[in-house]
């Protein structure tokens, strides 16, 4: 039986799984990196985990497994031609030849890709986008990550930057500075971080309870559910901006499904419904008529399933 090793590297933890050819996770395991985010430590630990995952399957009577390749998702800018991680800020990596390093450790071919792209590929293969031709994914979290999958294959663009919808400049004047260097990017207005920042601003003005800590977006949604009109407006404004940004991307791509991931995807009535109304208002009708908006279904498994799928595709190419 063929299996594929999916790896999703984050700023504080690494998720791994062995996945079959249909996108089903056979066994999985995560480990924390803590303060040790060095490339050598992570490559060696991933190799150890692969051995541990194989042992788990053997103990369960699945000893006829052949791991044919691995895929790894990394949060940063990658040079896919050379297998270099050009820069991964959250990991502190600059010009790291991680693809070769990992291949040396695990002894099987490794394919590398941006983590947001692999989450999109996972959803397109085995999640909310399965069976659709043109899949646009948006993951709403600290920032807004995006990915595009066309006929089952990632659309990367010329140098891997396709799908960076979080950096669409949607507020041309007076926008909040973004980490990318521009002002008024979509993620400064519609991400979970933006929701928290805006809510805190309103709290400082006395429009939200002073005794309620606002640490994460869920705190704002809780205030909205408790009946606070200002919290509801903060969420509605973020949903409006996201719908507008997605309309720009959809008019360009003409997708048949838009998959929304991240914690806000669970807030259907509060966030997804108004977001879809805004999307339909700003988009061309012939575009919005065929673009079904759906919440992601794979949750934290999207990255490892997408990574495994990438490895499978590379092996069959």
Same domain for 54 and 118: yes
Q: Which residues on neighbouring strands pair with residue 72, listed in sequence order?
A: 7, 112
Q: Tell me the pairing of strands 144-150 and 84-88.
A: unpaired
Give residue 307's pLDDT: 98
Mean pLDDT of 24-38: 89
Q: Is the per-residue pLDDT at 65 higher than 90? A: no
Same domain, 182 and 36: no
| Same domain, yes or no: 234 and 154 | yes
Work out the pLDDT band at 36, boundaries 50, 70, 90: confident
- pLDDT confidence of residue 265: 84
Mean of per-residue pLDDT scores for the chain: 94
18 with 94, same domain: the answer is: yes
Mean pLDDT of 39-64: 91
Q: Are the CB atoms for 93 and 76 separated by under 8 Å?
A: yes
83-96: average pLDDT:
91
Q: What pLDDT score was predicted for residue 135?
A: 98
Look at residue 93 and tell me whether its pLDDT is greater than 90.
yes
Distance CA 77, CA 161 (A): 8
Reported as a single tens digit per residue, the pLDDT across 165-224 is: 999 999 999 999 998 899 999 999 999 999 999 999 999 999 999 999 999 999 999 999
Render pLDDT for 148-182 as a digit per residue (tens, 0 to 9).
Answer: 999 999 999 988 889 999 999 999 999 999 988 99
Residues 112 and 167 grouped into a single domain = no
pLDDT value for 286: 97
pLDDT average, residue stretch 32-38: 80
Residues 110 and 155 reside in one and the same domain? no
- Shared-domain flag, residues 144 and 22: no
Q: How many domains does the chain have?
A: 2
The reply to whether 79 and 141 lie within a common domain is: no
Other Cβ atoms less than 10 A from the Cβ of 3: the count is 25
Do 180 and 221 lie in a common domain?
yes
pLDDT above 90 covers a percentage of the chain that reads 83
Is residue 266 over pLDDT 90?
no
Report residue 61's pLDDT band, with 50, 70 and 90 as the boundaries. Answer: confident
Same domain, 304 and 285: no
Query: Residue 276: what pLDDT?
Result: 95
Task: Give the CATH number of the domain where residue 193 resides.
Answer: 3.30.420.40
The residue among 145, 188, 178, 143 whose CA lies nearest residue 163 is: 145
Do 137 and 284 lie in one domain? The reply is: yes
Q: Which of 52-66, 116-130, 279-293 has the lowest mean pLDDT?
A: 52-66
Give one DSSP letter per residue of 241-288, joined into a string.
HHHHHHHHHHHHH--SEEEEESGGGG-IIIIIHHHHHHHHHHS-HHHH
Residues 258 and 286 occupy one common structural domain? yes
Q: Checking phi first, is residue 300 left (phi over 0); if not, alpha (psi -120 to 50) or beta?
A: alpha
Residue % of the chain over a pLDDT of 70 = 100
**Which residue range forms the structural domain that includes residue 292?**
131-297
């Amino acid at each position: 039986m063929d299996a594929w090793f999916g790896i999703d590297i984050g700023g504080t933890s690494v998720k791994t799984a062995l996945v079959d050819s249909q996108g089903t996770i056979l066994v999985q395991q995560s480990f924390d990196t803590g303060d040790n985010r060095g490339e050598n430590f992570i490559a060696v630990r991933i190799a150890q985990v692969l051995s541990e995952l194989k042992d788990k399957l053997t103990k369960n009577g699945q000893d006829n497994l052949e791991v044919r390749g691995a895929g790894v998702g990394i949060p940063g800018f990658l040079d896919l031609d050379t297998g270099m991680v050009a820069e991964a800020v959250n990991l502190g990596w600059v010009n790291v030849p991680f693809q070769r390093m990992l291949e040396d450790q695990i002894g099987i071919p490794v394919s590398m890709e941006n983590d947001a792209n692999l989450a999109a590929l996972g959803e397109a293969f085995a999640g909310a986008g399965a069976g659709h031709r043109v899949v646009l994914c948006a993951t709403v979290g600290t920032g807004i990550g995006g990915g595009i999958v066309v006929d089952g294959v990632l659309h990367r663009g010329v140098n891997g930057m396709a799908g960076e919808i979080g950096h669409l400049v949607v507020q041309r004047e007076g926008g909040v500075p973004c980490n990318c260097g521009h002002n008024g990017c979509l993620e400064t207005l519609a991400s979970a971080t933006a929701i928290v920042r805006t809510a805190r601003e309103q709290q400082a003005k006395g429009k939200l309870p002073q005794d309620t800590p606002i640490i994460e977006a869920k705190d704002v949604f809780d205030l909205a559910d408790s009946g606070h009109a200002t919290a509801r407006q903060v969420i509605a404004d973020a949903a409006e901006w996201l719908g507008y940004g997605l309309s720009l991307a959809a008019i360009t791509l003409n997708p048949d499904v838009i998959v929304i991931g991240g914690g806000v995807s669970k807030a259907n009535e509060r966030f997804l419904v108004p977001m879809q109304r805004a999307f339909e208002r700003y988009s061309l009708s012939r575009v919005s008529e065929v673009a079904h908006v759906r919440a992601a279904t794979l949750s934290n498994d999207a990255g490892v399933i997408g990574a495994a799928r990438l490895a499978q595709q590379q092996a069959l190419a």
